[in-house]
Structure 1
């Protein structure tokens, strides 16, 4: 975790404590790709330990292209300078592993900086029985996108403020289920549980959430490119 702390502290002293506290990124991977740098969603582009999509890689400057298929993207000079020039490099090489760690740090910093003062001001409060910490806000931003998180907070935590497309993209049939999913993630990142309103989806072996790969967004809204559900390519037993 020392590398993460140094990277974060170079941009924001406030986030250094997040990396140091209970291993935020270790907890985040449990909501995303587990321990696998190579796992890739079969029906989308979410990839690796933190399930970052090709579109988010593009926003970070490491790829260029658009759409919901990796064949539409090429790697930029910024990625090649880090030793990654292909999808296989990103998934299987040591340079690719290092770049995934670097990218999630950059995404985390961007998400924190994109949160409204109202959203950041929730730290230390309790919402629907869930303690709000920096870690829980960052996890929600990784899942929803920082802009959508701000909308949810500004609405008084009304899930109907979120795009309807989030339901299908995460295998959900109602906003009540989406609300449960958000709060369960936020509680889990703090090492706690949330009983919710009866939605029974639970974290599965290997870290993936049962109904979705939870592909992260970047910018004002989390982009919903394609519904991403199991099975996944490169599951641990076949890596």
Structure 2
């Protein structure tokens, strides 16, 4: 084989290796634009809008989130802690009827504590906590943001009610995923547990238009 052919072969090998390295690098950063959009869903669109349509800047931010928080392994909750959170959320929903502002403020604090208990950054680092949650719960992290804004006095009663409804989805994700007692006897009940949690916490104002209701027992249907 001539020297020219050897050089050409080496060049081809180098190009193939370089292309493979680029592919691996992009996968580690979230799979490129399409991969990031698939992974983040509505969060992708929100970040693009925040960057005034600059998809490169948005994807850079999302890729950095994946690098910082993608390897995070959420900690399980003990059954006792899980039930305490479920009961607390039920109480917050009932409190909303008489004091929406106080209820959303308490929901904001509860979500921050619950996320920290699951191994996400502490609630005192709100932005970082939300960034980590957006990597693992991109579909529902928006509810936490809305509740956080409402807790700081932004929004009408109806907006606060909508924020609580959306935040409930994130609460369900965090409180039901991988319970500490998810041993041999638990997996077959996973979907049942999530349904039961939703029913336990549901309050009348979730189903209606946000009007005032009184004397409803805890656990009435959504």
More helix by share: 2
* TM above 0.5: no
- TM normalised by structure 2 equals 0.28
More strand by share: 1
Larger radius of gyration: 2
